Structure 1
Amino acid sequence: MKQEFIVLKRDILKILDAFYQGKVQRLDQAYNLYLKSSRNRGTDKENLIRLCRGVVKHSLQLDSICRTFLPKWEKLPLSIQNLLRLATFQLLFNVSTPKGVVVNEAVEISKGLYAGNFSALVNATLRNIAGQVDQYLKILEGGVELPPWLHEQWMNKLGKELENVVKSLALPPVLFLRANTLKVGADQLAHLLSKRDIEAEPLLFPPEALAVKKGDYHELCKTQEYRNGMFYIQDLSSQLVAHLLQPQPGEVVIEVGCGSGGKTTHLAQLMQNQGEIIAIDKQKELLKQLFKNVQRMGIEIVKPLSRDATSPIPELKETADRVLVDAPCSGCGTIRKNPEVLFRNNQQTLRRLAEVQKQMLCNAANYLKKGGTMVYCVCTLTDEETWEVVEFFEKNVPNLEKVNLEIYLPEGIRKRLRNSERWKVLVENKQKGIEIWPHYFSSDGLFIVAWRKR
């Protein structure tokens, strides 16, 4: 038994306790706060994040397994529940670690919790689970278990294709980069990163996209290339959005809900740093981060604007050639990397978010010039936040016509989409919008629709 593994697991338990106690809303907030501490800079970051994310992602299944042997599971102290979740996850997914080692480490850690009162229970439970690993693995091979409300909704949309989605969500998230073409091309960036022992493979579309094969987020952020603004860490689905808006050099573009600037900086690249981008967000901390990213990447055309986009902004009326509405959402397309959305959402939160999305979208339509184009996108695929928002918008803002976004995608991407039964349904119903499901490109799920102002 290696002491550093014991220390690592104790650290993971602190993070999981903070998350399940509701002290942080997002799991990455919990582990990033921990990793930023100078005391923890030598921590095995990759393993810590993988285990934290895996436990939360599979917690419905892990809890179900533990309840088999612990009928009073809910009455156990949270730290003991998390210890059992973590050890069960390791028994099922860390096949390289002997089962006896996993059990013994958990028992050793339990002795420091509640004066060791639970060590016998932990030992007995984990030994029972270890004896039936093969049986439980068959269950988990089916993928992530979704909350009943989400499972029902996605089953109605996808049918048998849902099996591919939940299996995809169980996989570790792929790390994607976007080369800053104002400074470097994708191939050149891949070459530069290879000298840092980071392997990144350029993709066919978008042409500035790369998939990281070797290296992690923290390593990338430490590189000179990152500090020099040569790339932005951005999911592949998110990188499609700017291309579908089709911004041109010299135009005025308004982005509603810009956040820290992932899509904003991409728009500036496609505009060749010519024109104007008004980037709107009500969170000043995000605008501060946007400003840092813009400076780092050598972008000069972005004008941050701190406003609440659910209220009209009269001075922007009919000023934009293009508008992007990147609305706050439930994030149900990001379960691969943000598994907490499995537990932070319900149908009530969806309805609340949908009202915000409708307000933002209706206000944003006023900022378009005649002939201008507007794109609405959310990193979720729930009915309430996608097609129901679209239906409401089109009933209340009649002077726009929907754009067929498929024509802006290269044939290789369209061919992949056509393999999906869900895509065939959208085409048959002439929906024109795009649903990117996680199993299409190993990326986040994303919904995109566009209109042109008559």
Structure 2
Amino acid sequence: MKLPAAFLNKMEKLLGQDYPQFLQSYAVPRTAGLRANGLKLTPEELKKRLHVIEEPIPWSRDGYYYSEVTRPAKHPYYYAGLYYIQEPSAMLPAELLHPSPGERVLDLCAAPGGKSLQLAARLGREGLLVVNDLQPQRAKVLLKNIERFGVVNAIVLNESPQHLAPVFGEFFDKILVDAPCSGEGMFRKEPDMAKDWSEEAVDKYVGWQQEILATVPSLLKPGGEVVYSTCTFSPEENEQQMENFLTHYPHFELIEQKRMWPHWVKGEGHFVAKLKDNTASEKETPPADKRKASKKQPNPTLDEATKQALADFSQQVWGNKKIWQEWMPRGGQVIERAGHILWESIALPPLRGLKVLRSGWLLGTVERKRFRPSPALALGLPVEAAKAAVQKLNLAAGNEADCSLALRYLRGETLQQEGRTWAKGWHLVCLDHFPLGWAKGDGNWLKNGFPPGWRWIDGD
């Protein structure tokens, strides 16, 4: 790999006697990792099901190394959201932030969403996760991953960080700032990034990082915590950035700071720092799950026709008109916005003026007084909901015929099974009781409801 001379000179000065080992790391094959989706299953359960994974990643409680030749992204379990493929070192920031169920968490520069999904697994189906990215196309990818991996208590925004503070105020218990950076730690993974490196680019990112960090104090509640991370080696973007922040905001304290070097660990380059706001609040902050809902205008309520459509859908899938409500997270309500039926957290402040891609868990739409479930509804359902469904197609990953049928479904094909007929209405399609999506019964056929943008593409 050809690296810029100025970059190599900088690294030699920075690393000293470690420089030859650092340089040698570029000749070593990079490592690959994946992480069990804690919203779906435990790491131990994933290891039993997915035989390509190898030893655990030391700094991640649910991460494993795997051999890149195995292509885990082509397994149906990946489409069921059981695991996320993530560079091993990138698993550290969310681990260090360590959110707890019920907390309010912000991922400020979130796309494509790997760290957001990690935070969501720590929250479970409790609390609130706000994920944001400034770039519109990246924000769309972020939304897709949030929905594909079954996150139900997330808000997806496409905003500049500066626009968030007037809306949220000191709202968040914890904030992750995985800042845009010069990407020096990713040169081995993405060699083309090295071609764009320059000292001027480093300076440009330093300015952006300072602007983003300046928004953090107004978004974090007193006593809250923030993790700052980059995938670069540059001290200007890392240690010096933290020194500058602490100078401007002396009520913050540096709790922990870590460097990940590719010649030290089985992973790429990463820098992570954890800070705490030591501002004393006037009165004790109540636990996250005891806080009152934010003051806001009443949400659009469901009309009687929509309620009936949801009840009819629930009767079709579960044989019970009201049981669908059991699968909704606590601390929210089901509302209608512009024809979309969503679960929204009652803790959410009014989002007027913000670019909102999704304000909650999209359940579906109502068309001609009939409910049409969204793919996000299926992927967000717990396994208990799948097992309780009476109108479904459950496929076994270990069965060759079932696995073949699952691939046909993921390709978007209409499904048929010899000797079997399908009742009218929606059927939940599952893989080992993990929901994949929806299909509509039509006698001898199941009409595919898997979205085009999510489908399996042969040859990828």
Q: Could you say which TM-score interval applies, normalised by the shorter chain?
A: 0.5 to 0.7
Q: Select the residue among 441, 449, 453 that pairs with 2:265.
A: 441
Q: C-alpha deviations, 1:136-191, integer Å up to 9, x for none? A: xxxxxxxxxx4232222222221111111121122222110001122122233233
Query: Is 1:383–2:383 an aligned residue pair?
Result: no
Q: C-alpha deviations, 1:182-207, integer Å up to 9, x for none? A: 2122233233222xxx3443344412
Q: Select the residue among 190, 195, 206 that pairs with 1:343.
A: 195
Aligned-partner SS, 1:211: strand
1:170–1:316 distance in 2 versus 1, CA, 3 Å: farther
What is aligned with 1:67?
none
What is aligned with 1:53?
none
Query: Is 1:260–2:117 an aligned residue pair?
Result: no
Q: After TM superposition, give the deviation of residue 310 of structure 1 in Å.
A: 5.2
Q: C-alpha deviations, 1:95-130, integer Å up to 9, x for none? A: xxxxxxxxxxxxxxxxxxxxxxxxxxxxxxxxxxxx
What is aligned with 1:73?
none
Q: After TM superposition, give the deviation of residue 392 of structure 1 in Å.
A: 1.9
Query: Is 1:275–2:99 an aligned residue pair?
Result: no
What is aligned with 1:181?
38
Aligned-partner SS, 2:121: helix
Alignment of 1:74-153 (within 5 A): 146-153=3-10
1:214–1:349 distance in 2 versus 1, CA, 3 Å: closer
Query: Is 1:215–2:69 an aligned residue pair?
Result: yes
1:445–1:310 distance in 2 versus 1, CA, 3 Å: farther
Return 5+ residue gaps in structure 2 as ranges: 279-460
C-alpha contact (below 8 Å) 1:328/1:378 kept by paired residues: yes
1:361–1:214 distance in 2 versus 1, CA, 3 Å: closer
C-alpha contact (below 8 Å) 2:89/2:270 kept by paired residues: yes
Query: Is 1:295–2:147 an aligned residue pair?
Result: yes
Q: State the distance in 2 between where 1:283 and 1:268 align.
A: 21
Choose between structure 1 and 2: higher strand proportion.
2
Aligned-partner SS, 2:48: helix
What is aligned with 2:167?
315
Q: C-alpha deviations, 1:21-80, integer Å up to 9, x for none? A: xxxxxxxxxxxxxxxxxxxxxxxxxxxxxxxxxxxxx2x3xxxxxxxxxxxxxxxxxxxx
Alignment of 1:368-379 (within 5 A): 368-379=220-231
C-alpha contact (below 8 Å) 1:199/1:214 kept by paired residues: no
Name the amino acid aligned to 2:13.
N
Aligned-partner SS, 1:438: coil
C-alpha contact (below 8 Å) 1:180/1:229 kept by paired residues: yes
1:249–1:312 distance in 2 versus 1, CA, 3 Å: closer
What is aligned with 1:192?
49
Q: State the distance in 2 between where 1:312 and 1:396 align.
A: 20
Q: State the distance in 2 between where 1:351 and 1:159 align.
A: 23
4+ runs deviating over 6 angstroms: none
Q: After TM superposition, give the deviation of residue 225 of structure 1 in Å.
A: 0.7
Q: C-alpha deviations, 1:305-352, integer Å up to 9, x for none? A: 111125563112211100111111111011111112222111111101
Q: State the distance in 1 between where 2:23 and 2:41 align.
A: 36
Query: Is 1:453–2:281 an aligned residue pair?
Result: no
C-alpha contact (below 8 Å) 1:323/1:368 kept by paired residues: yes
Q: State the distance in 2 between where 1:317 and 1:282 align.
A: 19
Q: Which moved more, 1:237-246 or 1:393-402?
A: 393-402
What is aligned with 2:96?
244
Q: C-alpha deviations, 1:348-393, integer Å up to 9, x for none? A: 1110111000000111221111100011100001022112222221
Q: State the distance in 1 between where 2:226 and 2:56 align.
A: 29
Choose between structure 1 and 2: higher helix proportion.
1
C-alpha contact (below 8 Å) 2:4/2:197 kept by paired residues: no
Q: State the distance in 2 between where 1:153 and 1:237 align.
A: 22
Q: State the distance in 2 between where 1:204 and 1:152 align.
A: 31
C-alpha contact (below 8 Å) 1:249/1:275 kept by paired residues: yes
Q: Give TM-score, length-normalised by structure 1.
A: 0.59
Q: State the distance in 2 between where 1:309 and 1:169 align.
A: 35
Query: Is 1:172–2:172 an aligned residue pair?
Result: no
1:148–1:272 distance in 2 versus 1, CA, 3 Å: same
What is aligned with 1:162?
19
Q: After TM superposition, give the deviation of residue 301 of structure 1 in Å.
A: 1.4
C-alpha contact (below 8 Å) 2:134/2:159 kept by paired residues: yes
Q: State the distance in 2 between where 1:450 and 1:181 align.
A: 23
What is aligned with 2:138?
286
Q: After TM superposition, give the deviation of residue 214 of structure 1 in Å.
A: 5.7
Aligned-partner SS, 1:221: helix
Q: State the distance in 2 between where 1:295 and 1:311 align.
A: 24
Q: State the distance in 2 between where 1:214 and 1:238 align.
A: 17
Alignment of 1:32-43 (within 5 A): none
Q: State the distance in 2 between where 1:207 and 1:384 align.
A: 30
1:174–1:368 distance in 2 versus 1, CA, 3 Å: same
Alignment of 1:420-435 (within 5 A): 433-435=257-259
C-alpha contact (below 8 Å) 1:311/1:360 kept by paired residues: no
Q: State the distance in 2 between where 1:330 and 1:204 align.
A: 26
Aligned-partner SS, 1:248: coil
Q: State the distance in 2 between where 1:186 and 1:311 align.
A: 38
What is aligned with 1:304?
156
The CA RMSD measured in Å over matched residues stands at: 1.7
C-alpha contact (below 8 Å) 2:92/2:272 kept by paired residues: no
C-alpha contact (below 8 Å) 1:362/1:397 kept by paired residues: no
Identity of aligned residues (%): 30
Q: Give the number of equivalent residue pairs.
A: 278
Q: State the distance in 1 between where 2:204 and 2:68 align.
A: 40
Alignment of 1:20-99 (within 5 A): 58=1, 60=2
1:204–1:382 distance in 2 versus 1, CA, 3 Å: closer
Q: State the distance in 2 between where 1:289 and 1:210 align.
A: 24
Q: State the distance in 1 between where 2:168 and 2:19 align.
A: 42
C-alpha contact (below 8 Å) 1:378/1:448 kept by paired residues: yes
1:199–1:376 distance in 2 versus 1, CA, 3 Å: closer
Q: Which moved more, 1:225-234 or 1:159-168?
A: 159-168
Name the amino acid aligned to 2:133.
D
What is aligned with 1:206?
60
